Amino acid sequence: MQQTPPSQPTTRRQILAGAGAAGIAAALALPGSTAQAAAEDKERNRRAARALLGRMSLKEKIGQLFVVEVYGKSADTEHAKNKELYGVSTPAEVIAKYRPGGVIYFDARRGPDNLKEPSQVAGLSNGLQRASLRTGARIPLLVSIDQEGGSVVYRMLEPATQLPGNMALAAGRSQGDVRRSSEIIGTELAAMGINQNYAPVADVNINPDNPIIGVRSFGSDPSLCSQLVAESVRGYHRGEVASAAKHFPGHGDTDVDSHTGLPVIKHTRAELDEIDLPPFRAAIARGVDTIMTAHIVVPSLDSSGVPATMSKPIVTGLLREELGFRGLIVTDALDMGGATEDFPPDVAPVRALKAGCDQLVLAPKADTAHAAVLKAVESGEVTEDRLDASVLRILEHKLRNGLFPRPYVDEKRAARVVGNRRHAADCASITDRTVTLVRNEGGTLPLSDAKRTVLVTGWDASQVGTVADTVGKRSGQGATPLATGATPAAAKIEEAVTAAGQHDVTVVLTNAAASPKDKGAAQADLVKALMKTGRPVVAVAVRNAYDIRRFPDVPAYLATFSYGKQSLTSLVRVLYGDIDPAGKLPVSIPALGDGGGTLYEYGHGLGY
């Protein structure tokens, strides 16, 4: 049965509610406007959490530590993968069996296929909450997702509003745009019953070869990153969803992907204080709800060689004690290579808990992981006081976010909120301010109406098609799409060169053309071959801005930092001078090779 939240003039974050029993709920009040009232509310929350804790069994406490994935679009969907992973068939049965503290949603690209359209997602959230509230201590779930914005890490596709992402927003240099972007994402997630977004990324991307962060970061300047991380946290809170700064203590200077390996960050403590830690300090000062740890080794913080997720000096010593963070500490996914390489399923969750983490995300082999934590507590390897400390933080987090009195959402309202016209209009305006013009020799841009025929080529078929369609909708303009892929073969390059000779101008999209180990060399070969035709060439980096390192003499070069549909629409508006390019580089672009100098400085950006 669908339940609709009562109509009240208060926001969910303003409601401090009870802990599973009417008597506790009645004892809690709305927060006052003074520091004293806020302190009193916090103390009431703590008392309510302790009352709940006192009624929980050991297994129920351990369940709260885990954040699991479930397969299917509804709580009652039978799926073979649930059976394989958990021994039960439906998401509701997974919740009943393990009584987890949270779930995390994924789309079909990973496999769980939880996300189709807003009303369905809201129904899934309601069904999982109902399953959780029917079991044991009757504690609502944290329902989480990775919806960072941009075109790299996002789970909810259209009709959800597709914001341009962190580095694009940083190019726009508007704190207000960052705040509004996060507010839109948060509002839409909250409408679907998703109450925890694992965002914003707080990493400072100072390594052009970083394979996993890149445009997910706000850039390479710690000050800018700090300002925008704080505004992003503020925006999520306005949108009534909990925020999570990641990946502590900083994943921005690595050339190894922690999904497949274990990166080592070689920064000294002084460099960490100068580069990596300021955005996390800013997030904490702004009241971030959650901080996610990274599977990275940081020898200057812990010489043992264990990942930060498993490091007590980093999680407890630095984050909890030195930085004074009092919210939830969650692990990055424990099924990633950076965690599984040296820590099997019966070790990783115990080590992360001992390090100081509160919630364990996607621990592989659920039965093994739960049994390992139970054994550790029963043997005294992990004290029950240590366990209780994490469970209390989880319960207080849920109380603070109003999940006990209002665990359900209105499924019909979700369809009205997600992707609404106001959100779409704001997204378009924000994205228009992010496109960055890096190079424009000989006045190549803006394109004149005399350039009637345009070849759009390069990476990828969908994005090439979007740009060509958008150009083709302009009066008197004709556009031909010719996708060449991420690693175009010589024959495909020749086909593009021939086509370029038959068009007035060529727009070529690149993605990771400057990636290391020559992975992007073929894209660079395409751009260089097109330049030899003598026809105007406009190169557009639709992800990282570093691609021009491989073809520095291209006549015109723009960076969108995203290949989302709205970013490509804004690109076309800039190409034809409908709007001026307003973006400024949030990173510097070094020349290729050691000692090659800098091609373009941080803050560079041309206008018309």
Grouping H, G, I as helix, E, B as strand and the rest as coil, residue 100 is coil
387 burial (CB, 10 Å; 0-12 / 13-18 / 19+) is buried
Non-local (6+) Cβ contacts of 178 within 8 A are: 169, 170, 228, 231, 232, 235
CA distance 342 to 258: 13
Place of tokens 């996300």: 115
The DSSP secondary structure of 501-512, one letter per residue, reads: TTSSEEEEEESS
CA distance 70 to 89: 10
Place of tokens 């060509």: 468
Sign, CA torsion 376/380/382/386:
positive
Distances 120 to 106, 241, 334 between C-alpha atoms, Å: 14, 19, 28
Distances 158 to 200, 330, 331 between C-alpha atoms, Å: 20, 28, 28
Amino acid letter for position 371: A
Question: Any catalytic annotation for residue 332?
Answer: yes
- Catalytic one of 332, 358, 525, 547: 332
CA distance 397 to 237: 13
- What is the DSSP code (8-state) at residue 218? S
CA distance 234 to 59: 35
Non-local (6+) Cβ contacts of 339 within 8 A are: 295, 307, 309, 310, 331, 332, 333, 348
Non-local (6+) Cβ contacts of 585 within 8 A are: 171, 436, 438, 545, 559, 600, 601, 602, 603, 604, 605
Report cis status (omega within 30 of 0) of the bond before 488. no
Grouping H, G, I as helix, E, B as strand and the rest as coil, residue 141 is coil
CA distance 112 to 79: 9
- Catalytic one of 76, 113, 257, 259: 259
Question: Any catalytic annotation for residue 335?
Answer: no
> Is 288:271 a contact under the CB 8 Å cutoff?
no
End-to-end CA distance of the chain: 58
Helices (H), 358-506: 366-379, 384-400, 411-417, 421-432, 461-472, 490-500
CA distance 224 to 51: 43
The alpha carbon torsion through 354, 357, 360, 363 (nearest 10 deg) reads -40
Question: Cα–chain-centroid distance for residue 147?
Answer: 5
Helices (H), 501-542: 521-531
Distances 185 to 189, 297, 372, 410, 473 between C-alpha atoms, Å: 6, 32, 37, 18, 29
Active-site amino acid positions:
259, 332
